[in-house]
Every structure is written in structure tokens, then in C-alpha cells.
């Protein structure tokens, strides 16, 4: 069982560049989430999706975009990278809000 797979694991970007963080899950979960975790801080929700074609903003959506064309995939797009977006990004999924979330191992992103 692969669970939740995130790619890449590490990335360095220059200010103003764009990139897409990939997330895929093989558990047929309807709900998927993107979080960022800054050092010593709790996870902050960026965007979430309750099913294919449905997405909504979390606490800190500015500077990011998402899409959900399939149940399995939930990519996160950074259009104009800024130093404030340096963080560790986690993707998660579950069957619903009463179920535990399954997390990927994160993408460590540095913007210089």
C-alpha cells in the first residue's frame, strides 16, 4: 500500500518561479488536504477538496492554487514563489471528518 505519495521530496526555487507539488493517494479517499508546516509551528490548512471537481480555501490560501480532476490526485500550484512560502508542505487524505487523516512524508521547499 503506497498510501499518500508526494513528489518531489525537496526543491529549491528562485523568487518568482512557479512549480507544482504533486500528491496522489491510492485509498479511494474523497477528502484531500494541503497543509504547510513552518518550523516549530502547527500545520496550517492551505486548500482542501471533498471530491473530484470540488475545492475550497483553508486558512492560508494566498499564493497557491489547486485542482482536483480525479479522486486520486490533488496538485498544489505556486505561481510566483516568494520567500514566505519556504516551508514543508504536507498532503493528506481521508474518508471524512470523523476519520483520521493519512499524510504523505512532505515536500521541503526553499525559496531563495
Partner 1 sequence: KNQVEQSPQSLIILEGKNCTLQCNYTVSPFSNLRWYKQDTGRGPVSLTIMTFSENTKSNGRYTATLDADTKQSSLHITASQLSDSASYICVVTRNTNAGKSTFGDGTTLTVKP
Contact set with partner 1 (CB under 8 A):
4, 31, 33, 35, 40-45, 48, 50, 56, 58, 90, 92, 96-106
* Residue whose CB is less far from partner 1, 15 or 105: 105
| Closest distance of CB 15 from partner 1, Å | 26
- Cβ(88)–Cβ(37) below 8 Å: yes
Nearest to 4 by CA among 58, 71, 88, 87: 71
* Residue whose CB is less far from partner 1, 14 or 28: 28
Cα–Cα distance for residue pair 35/27, rounded to 1 Å? 19
Judged on CB neighbours under 10 Å (0-12, 13-18, 19+), 89 is buried
| Closest distance of CB 30 from partner 1, Å | 9
Cα–Cα distance for residue pair 40/17, rounded to 1 Å? 26
| Closest distance of CB 16 from partner 1, Å | 28
| Closest distance of CB 67 from partner 1, Å | 16
* Residue whose CB is less far from partner 1, 78 or 90: 90
Amino acid at each position: 500500500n503506497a498510501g499518500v505519495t508526494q513528489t518531489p521530496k525537496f526543491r529549491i526555487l528562485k523568487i518568482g518561479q512557479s512549480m507544482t507539488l504533486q500528491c496522489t493517494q491510492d485509498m479511494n479517499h474523497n477528502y484531500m488536504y494541503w497543509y504547510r508546516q513552518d518550523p516549530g509551528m502547527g500545520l496550517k490548512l492551505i486548500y482542501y477538496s471533498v471530491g473530484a471537481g470540488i475545492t475550497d480555501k483553508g486558512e492560508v490560501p494566498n499564493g497557491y492554487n489547486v485542482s482536483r480532476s480525479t479522486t486520486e490526485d490533488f496538485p498544489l500550484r505556486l505561481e510566483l514563489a516568494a520567500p514566505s512560502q519556504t516551508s514543508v508542505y504536507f498532503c493528506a487524505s481521508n474518508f471524512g471528518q470523523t476519520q483520521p487523516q493519512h499524510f504523505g512524508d512532505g515536500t521541503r521547499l526553499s525559496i531563495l
